């Protein structure tokens, strides 16, 4: 798409569109509609699914008809989603509150076509950082880069939080069946227990620390980094740090001042938000975990989904359809949450990662005009892996009073083809979506006595009509994982456009950081507390008394 200047996102109140009004009336009818009745159409799956070479998206088990879909697509058009997609890929300043484009998609674009931000060719900068990541990761993996005593690196400790942690931790865990010889550990909590337990058993001779902080001021990360630096200095001496510390940051000077060699500082940019930074230097632990070739495949997967999103008509466009279905339930059925349920144990961190992507992006109550919003925006995203969840919270999904739309994800080909395990896993995956959609209205059989059967019948009744999306992907590979992550990124973007909010800032997070600094000073045992509210005063007083 052509590089343009600074076209802003549209600022349209969705509730004032004709499509929104029609959807409200249509929803009244659809609340009385049963999925059992809709599936009397034997061609329903054919009408309500789409796929790429590696992913099949089945949305037939949703409370929708062709009319629903038409109205939702009309809503997207009225809210100028096509123009917004063009603006995002073109590098327009769509993150207006921070006066930045949102160009994380450029990080995974394999082409060499120049793109400019503030007069700089970001394509050249991206390629430079990728080459630096490739050379560094290959030296560490092969053992060519030694520690201070001449021994190769065996362990990597990544210190970050939020977007600097969740992305690499999720991808590294998801693709651990591709792992290199290196052992990768992640520390994100400022609780001393996590870093203390991580450092146990490690040798300074063979450990590499990566400090990941865009601003290089994030208190949790820097606290852990200082602890790691002290641990290393006490055992090996500060002069030996150069071979054992790397940094990922937009502030190179701060990283150098911390004691990290310039050759091991990897750049971030202001036009990439933290929760989308896995595609750039924040992916360095992934390069070390699965090799740079694997990381490139991950980038290629993301790019494939970018092409699908940018070029596919909306009626067959996975991110757009997922976004519209989410809006359908959130705004017209009152569903406050969205469950993401991956049937693959390698994806046990995926839901937490997607939770940040959705809730940090679209958890907003002010629209792009600066006005208070009177309709629901970002839903609560939650979930757990496969059959573990079935024996935990699925009871609420089947018979609870809340409507919880669910995304079910599963690979067709297992990472570990042992016995009949995968067939049983997929049987559960398929059976759960069937049960949620169609339920069970007849009383359970096999009980003695007619009266007992009638008495228990209400408790064993499953009404069904619980909507689900099924996302079946060919196999969990770096490529397919990249596609899945980009799929959800674009879904969140489309929803933010329709809700008329800025999805790429996070001012609520910044408030918590600012208040933490003030409260931290008041926890000093020798300092008086001048916080105004009685709750904080009382809690600090008890803390000091127990100390």
Beta strand 116-117 pairing with 55-58: unpaired
Contacts of 379 (CB under 8 A, 6+ apart): 326, 330, 335, 336, 337, 338, 358
Which one, of 264, 238, 243, lies nearest residue 252 by Cα? 264
Clarify whether 513 is annotated catalytic.
yes
| CA gap 365, 373 in Å, rounded | 5
Instruction: Give the DSSP per-residue string, 275-341.
Output: GGGGGTGGGHHHHHHH-HHHHHHHHHHHHHHHHHHHHS-GGG-HHHHHHHHHHHHHHHS---EEEEE
| CA gap 148, 333 in Å, rounded | 61
| DSSP H helix total and E strand total for the chain | 21, 13
What are the backbone angles phi and psi of residue 94, rounded to the nearest 5°?
-95, -15
Beta strand 406-413 pairing with 49-51: unpaired
Clarify whether 391 is annotated catalytic.
yes
Active-site residue, from 360, 422, 489, 491: 360
Active-site residue, from 40, 391, 448, 517: 391
| CA gap 461, 441 in Å, rounded | 5
For tokens 């997070």, the residue is: 509
What is the SS3 assignment for 422-448? HHHHHHHHHHHHHHHHHCECCCCCCCC
User: In whole angstroms, how far apart are CA 111 and each of 107, 250, 282, 300, 477?
Assistant: 10, 24, 21, 11, 22
- In this structure, are residues 231 and 199 in contact, taking their beta carbons and an 8 Å threshold? yes
> In 79-218, which residue ranges form alpha helices assigned H by DSSP?
81-90, 122-142, 163-174, 192-199
Clarify whether 46 is annotated catalytic.
no
The answer to whether the Cα torsion of 10, 13, 17, 21 is positive or negative is positive
Active-site residue, from 151, 176, 475, 513: 513
Torsion of CA 185, 186, 192, 198, to 10 degrees: 0
User: In whole angstroms, how far apart are CA 359 and each of 312, 318, 350?
Assistant: 26, 20, 14
Torsion of CA 157, 162, 167, 168, to 10 degrees: -10
Report DSSP state, residue 366.
Answer: B
| CA gap 347, 415 in Å, rounded | 12
- In this structure, are residues 314 and 320 in contact, taking their beta carbons and an 8 Å threshold? yes
What tokens were used for 100?
């930045």
What distance, in Å, lies between the first and last C-alpha atoms of the chain? 60
Catalytic positions, written as ranges:
360, 391, 513
């Amino acid at each position: 798409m052509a590089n343009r200047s600074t076209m802003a996102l549209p600022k349209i109140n969705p509730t004032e569109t004709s499509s929104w009004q029609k959807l409200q009336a249509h929803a009244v009818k659809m609340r009385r509609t049963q999925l059992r009745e809709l599936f009397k159409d034997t061609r329903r799956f054919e009408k309500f699914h789409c796929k790429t070479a590696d992913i099949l998206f089945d949305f037939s088990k949703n409370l929708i008809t062709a009319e629903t879909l038409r109205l939702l697509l009309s809503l997207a058009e009225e809210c100028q989603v096509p123009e917004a997609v063009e603006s995002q890929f073109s590098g327009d300043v769509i993150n207006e509150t921070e006066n930045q484009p949102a160009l994380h998609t450029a990080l995974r674009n394999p082409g060499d076509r120049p793109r400019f931000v503030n007069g700089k060719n970001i394509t050249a900068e991206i390629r430079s950082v990728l080459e630096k990541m490739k050379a560094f990761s290959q030296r560490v993996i092969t053992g060519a880069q030694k520690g201070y005593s001449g021994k190769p690196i065996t362990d990597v400790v990544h210190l970050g939080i939020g977007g600097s942690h969740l992305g690499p931790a999720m991808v590294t865990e998801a693709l651990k069946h591709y792992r290199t010889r290196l052992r990768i550990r992640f520390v994100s909590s400022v609780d001393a227990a996590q870093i203390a337990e991580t450092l146990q058993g490690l040798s300074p001779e063979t450990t590499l620390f990566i400090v990941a902080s865009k601003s290089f001021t994030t208190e949790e990360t820097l606290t852990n980094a200082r602890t790691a630096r002290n641990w290393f200095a006490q055992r090996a001496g500060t002069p030996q740090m150069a071979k054992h510390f790397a940094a990922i940051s937009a502030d190179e000077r701060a990283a150098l001042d911390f004691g990290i060699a310039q050759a091991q500082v990897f750049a971030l940019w202001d036009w990439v938000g933290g929760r989308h930074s896995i595609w750039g230097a924040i992916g360095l632990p992934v390069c070390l975990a699965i090799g740079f070739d694997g990381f490139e495949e991950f980038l290629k997967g993301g790019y494939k989904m970018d092409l699908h999103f940018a070029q596919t008509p909306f009626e067959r466009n996975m991110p757009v359809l997922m976004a519209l279905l989410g809006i359908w339930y959130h705004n017209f059925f009152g569903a406050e949450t969205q469950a993401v349920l991956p049937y693959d144990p390698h994806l046990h961190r995926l839901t937490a990662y997607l939770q940040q992507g959705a809730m940090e992006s679209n958890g907003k109550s002010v629209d792009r005009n600066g006005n208070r919003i009177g309709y629901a925006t970002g839903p609560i995203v939650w979930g757990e892996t496969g059959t573990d969840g079935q024996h935990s919270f699925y009871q609420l999904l089947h018979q609870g009073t809340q409507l919880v739309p669910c995304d079910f994800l599963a690979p067709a080909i297992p990472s570990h083809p042992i016995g009949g395990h995968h067939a049983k896993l997929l049987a559960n995956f398929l059976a759960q979506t069937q049960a949620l959609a169609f339920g069970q209205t007849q009383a359970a059989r096999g009980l003695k006595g007619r009266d007992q059967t009638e008495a228990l019948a209400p408790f064993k009744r499953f009404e069904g009509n619980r909507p689900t999306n099924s996302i079946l992907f060919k196999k969990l590979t770096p490529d397919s994982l990249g596609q899945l992550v980009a799929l959800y990124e674009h879904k969140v973007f489309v929803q933010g456009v329709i809700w008329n909010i800025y999805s790429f800032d996070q001012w609520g997070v910044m408030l918590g950081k600012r208040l933490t600094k003030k409260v931290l000073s008041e926890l000093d045992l020798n300092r008086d507390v001048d916080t105004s509210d009685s709750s904080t005063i009382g809690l600090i007083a008890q803390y000091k008394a127990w100390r």
